[in-house]
């Protein structure tokens, strides 16, 4: 099975390493020459939180800089797996999908939200697109080393242009392709499910991120501190309610107890620094436009304003300028 | 002339020291026993930005902890000068104005905004209230030492319950009291004007603070960095426009070019840390409720929403919890 993976951040290193260890042929496309060279010469090391480690020797995962991506790589891939952040998708469209999109058969997207799926669809006329959501915990600790901080689950579902899971009859080849992907990931040690409600999972994660991330980033607090003060909880709740009105107008179904799930995530990850706060502290661009910005744009398309989410977008964008 | 001054922060030390040096009898009421003891034993030192200093020897300014404030102090004062922050006003009402308000003849208030004036009026049935705005630059560098960072101007105007400058005939005694106050401050070296448009000055300062302070505090940037990015300027402008709509509905006159003045303040104080950012960085409660909160409440009274100012209040309050 040929896996071409783009993006060697924490999740990229984790998935590439474990897939290769389970026997898949993995090529990893990195942002920098330096990172590709480090992986080429020393392999990948996955540290476990119990102190153990899994070392993938040099040469098992092929690593190259993304600038060298070529048509044959796209055509050879059984699955092209995108592990870049949302901010990187527009660049990928230019570098990979516009020139080589026609040769790509199956693309698996691990980004939050949905904006990137719509964008990629335009450049993958004949390819299958999968949306993936994972709760695996990974922390990058060097160009070729990652800490697997906690096991989670990976949910994968087919995406199509109607914006809803395919409801019609699947082709036999598509069905086989779906099953092989799930088996591949399970064999590599990732507890993975095929979902025909991937949208529910995507929008659940979007809601959780939209409520937690910008507030932790502006207040510069760990996730759990959101629950320290009734005023903070009240503002989270208002962001939640504003987004619920958008979801309802857009016909996006919500699970019961979604608010309780948000509170639960704050508790379970109470000492964690959200990815957005990390970006703010390190002066990097954040994912705000793909998280709260998605909710604002979704609302605009359905005639529902989300002024609090909108102001938060602009305050976060102003922070990192 | 007997001056009783409450609040020994940067402006309190500066005004108390210079008034005493010019011959006024000054009593300074401090928040802590320690600060009162330090001033009692070592006096006050005012450092000038050119390296010179003015030392007020021990015993020239009488310093006491506020907990010892008593009726005779209130009754003896020609002017009771309030140099505490807005946040301290409610505490002062409890400690000073409810028990001794009837004996106080004239009260001079150096706080921003107007909410405190309305509150004090209720507890000073027979006293004159003055609102004061100053652009003197002072930085506290110890319990009894202050840096006079830059000279400014002080504008003082009479306040009355109609919420507008007194337009009727002033009593002769009131006129004398006004003039003596201005003379007193000028003699101490503060360039001071009597204004019958103190409201314009108060609301100008309120607008400038409402646009600059919360954004610098959330973004953790010096004042000048607000102008570094068109997105930041755009958000400042929207806060300005939202507040202008409130001012217009409330019948508060605005000077022409107020927006240009805000931009000018950012330029002139470009390396300054706003007081609100200082409070946030040091984990203290901020003045947000008296600045942007004043605009929100003013809007509510006149049927105009100010949702951006309101969300900023809550984000700043959430920061310092």
pLDDT per residue over A65-102, tens digit each? Answer: 999 999 999 999 999 999 998 888 989 999 999 999 98
pLDDT per residue over A221-279, tens digit each? Answer: 999 999 999 999 999 999 999 999 999 999 888 888 999 999 999 998 898 899 899 99
- Whether B215 has its CB under 8 Å from any CB of chain A: the answer is yes
Q: Give residue A173's pLDDT band: very low, low, confident or very high (50, 70, 90).
A: confident
Residue among A18, A12, A20 nearest A59 (CA): A20
Q: Which of A233, A277, A318 best probes binding to B when mutated, by most B CB atoms within 10 angstroms?
A: A318
**What residue of B is the nearest CA neighbor of A221?**
B319
- Whether A219 has its CB under 8 Å from any CB of chain B: the answer is yes
pLDDT at A178 over 90: no
Q: What is the C-alpha separation between A34 and A25, in angstroms, rounded?
A: 22
The values of phi and psi at residue A25, to 5°, are: -90, 110
- Whether B317 has its CB under 8 Å from any CB of chain A: the answer is yes
Whether B318 and A228 lie within 8 Å, measured CB to CB: no
Q: What is the C-alpha separation between A258 and B232, in angstroms, rounded?
A: 34
- Whether B71 has its CB under 8 Å from any CB of chain A: the answer is no
**What residue of B is the nearest CA neighbor of A215?**
B315
Q: What is the C-alpha separation between B217 and B274, in angstroms, rounded?
A: 7
- Whether A306 has its CB under 8 Å from any CB of chain B: the answer is no
pLDDT at B178: 85
pLDDT per residue over B284-308, tens digit each? Answer: 989 899 899 999 999 999 999 999 9
Q: Give residue B160's pLDDT band: very low, low, confident or very high (50, 70, 90).
A: low
Greater confidence, A54 or A161? A54
Partner-chain residue, chosen from A232, A311, A319, that has the shortest CB–CB distance to B318: A232
Give A-chain residues touching B317 at CB under 8 angstroms.
231
Question: Minimum mean pLDDT among A34-48, A100-114, A174-188, B111-125: which range?
Answer: B111-125
Partner-chain residue, chosen from A215, A308, A319, that has the shortest CB–CB distance to B219: A319
pLDDT at B195 over 90: no
CATH of B199-320, picked from 2.30.29.30, 1.10.1040.10, 3.30.450.70, 2.170.260.10, is: 1.10.1040.10
- Whether A307 has its CB under 8 Å from any CB of chain B: the answer is yes
Give A-chain residues touching B232 at CB under 8 angstroms.
318, 321
User: What is the SS3 assignment for B35?
Assistant: helix
How confident is the model over A50-78, as a mean pLDDT? 95
Partner-chain residue, chosen from A219, A308, A311, that has the shortest CB–CB distance to B318: A219
Domains in chain B: boundaries: 2-196, 199-320
Whether B318 and A215 lie within 8 Å, measured CB to CB: yes
β-bridge mates for residue A247, sequence order = none
Whether B231 and A314 lie within 8 Å, measured CB to CB: yes
Whether B319 and A232 lie within 8 Å, measured CB to CB: no
Q: What is the 3-state secondary structure (H, E, C) of A250-295?
A: HCCCCCCCHHHHHHHHHHHCCCCCCHHHHHHHCCCCCCHHHCHHHH
Whether A231 and B319 lie within 8 Å, measured CB to CB: no
Share of chain B above pLDDT 70, in %: 96
> How many Cβ atoms are within 10 Å of A43's Cβ, its own excluded?
19
Task: Pinpoint the alpha helices (H) of A77-194.
Answer: 89-92, 98-100, 115-123, 172-187
Q: Chain A, 24-63: which have a CB under 8 Å from a chain B CB?
A: none
Task: Pinpoint the alpha helices (H) of chain A.
Answer: 10-21, 33-42, 71-76, 89-92, 98-100, 115-123, 172-187, 198-219, 230-250, 258-268, 275-281, 292-301, 307-320
Whether A218 and B307 lie within 8 Å, measured CB to CB: no
Partner-chain residue, chosen from A228, A307, A315, that has the shortest CB–CB distance to B321: A228
Q: What is the DSSP string of B76-108?
A: H-SEEEE-S-GGGHHHHIIIIIHHHGGG--EEE
pLDDT at B169: 57
pLDDT at A170 over 90: no
β-bridge mates for residue A130, sequence order = A108, A158
- Whether B232 has its CB under 8 Å from any CB of chain A: the answer is yes
- Whether A228 has its CB under 8 Å from any CB of chain B: the answer is yes
> Cβ neighbours of residue B236 under 8 Å, at least 6 residues apart?
B211, B212, B215, B226, B262
**What residue of B is the nearest CA neighbor of A321?**
B229
Q: What is the C-alpha separation between B108 and B158, in angstroms, rounded?
A: 9
How confident is the model over B169-173, as a mean pLDDT? 69
- Whether A233 has its CB under 8 Å from any CB of chain B: the answer is no
Whether A218 and B319 lie within 8 Å, measured CB to CB: yes
pLDDT at B321: 67
Whether B43 contacts B56, CB under 8 Å: yes
User: Domain B2-196's class?
Assistant: alpha beta
- Whether B278 has its CB under 8 Å from any CB of chain A: the answer is no
Question: How many CB pairs lie under 8 A apart between chains A and B?
Answer: 48
How confident is the model over A103-130, as a mean pLDDT? 87
Work out the minimum CA distance from A253 to partner chain B, whole angstroms.
28
pLDDT per residue over B7-57, tens digit each? Answer: 999 999 999 999 999 999 999 999 999 999 999 999 999 999 889 999 999
Whether A318 and B228 lie within 8 Å, measured CB to CB: no
Mean pLDDT score across all residues of chain B = 91
Work out the minimum CA distance from B318 to partner chain A, whole angstroms.
6
Q: Give residue B166's pLDDT band: very low, low, confident or very high (50, 70, 90).
A: very low
- Whether A317 has its CB under 8 Å from any CB of chain B: the answer is yes
Give A-chain residues touching B315 at CB under 8 angstroms.
218-219, 235, 315
Whether B260 contacts B233, CB under 8 Å: no
Q: Give residue A321's pLDDT band: very low, low, confident or very high (50, 70, 90).
A: low
Residue among A150, A109, A112, A153 nearest A135 (CA): A153
- Whether A254 has its CB under 8 Å from any CB of chain B: the answer is no
Work out the minimum CA distance from A286 to partner chain B, whole angstroms.
14
Give B-chain residues touching A318 at CB under 8 angstroms.
215, 218-219, 229, 231-232, 235
Whether B311 and A308 lie within 8 Å, measured CB to CB: yes
pLDDT per residue over B199-253, tens digit each? Answer: 888 899 999 999 999 999 999 999 999 999 999 999 999 999 999 999 999 988 8
Whether B308 and A311 lie within 8 Å, measured CB to CB: yes
Q: Give residue A161's pLDDT band: very low, low, confident or very high (50, 70, 90).
A: very low
Whether A314 and B219 lie within 8 Å, measured CB to CB: no
Give B-chain residues touching A222 at CB under 8 angstroms.
none
**What residue of B is the nearest CA neighbor of A235?**
B314
Partner-chain residue, chosen from A218, A308, A321, that has the shortest CB–CB distance to B229: A321
């Amino acid at each position: 099975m040929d896996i071409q993976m783009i993006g060697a951040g924490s999740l990229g290193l984790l998935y590439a390493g474990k897939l290769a260890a389970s026997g898949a042929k993995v090529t990893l496309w990195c942002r920098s020459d330096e990172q590709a060279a480090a992986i080429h010469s020393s392999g990948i090391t996955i540290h476990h939180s119990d102190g153990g480690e899994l070392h993938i020797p040099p040469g098992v995962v092929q690593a190259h800089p993304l600038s060298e991506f070529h048509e044959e790589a796209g055509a050879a891939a059984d699955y092209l797996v995108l592990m870049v952040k949302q901010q990187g998708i527009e660049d990928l469209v230019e570098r990979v999908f516009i020139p080589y999109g026609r040769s790509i058969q199956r693309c698996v997207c691990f980004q939050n939200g949905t904006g990137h799926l719509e964008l990629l669809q335009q450049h993958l006329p004949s390819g299958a697109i999968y949306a993936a959501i994972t709760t695996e915990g990974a922390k990058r600790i060097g160009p070729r080393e990652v800490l697997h901080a906690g096991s989670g689950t990976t949910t994968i579902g087919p995406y199509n242009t109607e914006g809803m899971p395919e409801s019609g009859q699947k082709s036999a080849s598509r069905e086989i392709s779906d099953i092989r992907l799930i088996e591949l990931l399970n064999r590599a040690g990732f507890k993975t499910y095929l979902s025909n409600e991937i949208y529910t999972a995507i929008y659940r994660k979007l809601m959780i991120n939209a409520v937690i991330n910008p507030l932790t980033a502006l207040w510069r607090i760990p996730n759990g501190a959101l629950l320290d003060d009734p005023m903070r909880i009240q503002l989270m709740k208002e962001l939640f309610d504003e987004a619920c009105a958008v979801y309802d107008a857009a016909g996006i179904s919500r699970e019961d107890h979604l608010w309780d799930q948000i509170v639960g995530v704050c508790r379970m990850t109470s000492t964690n620094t959200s990815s957005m706060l990390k970006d703010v502290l390190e002066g990097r661009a954040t994912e705000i436009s793909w998280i709260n910005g998605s909710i604002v744009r979704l609302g605009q398309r359905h005639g529902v304003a989300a002024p609090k989410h909108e102001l938060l977008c602009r305050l976060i964008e102003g922070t990192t300028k």
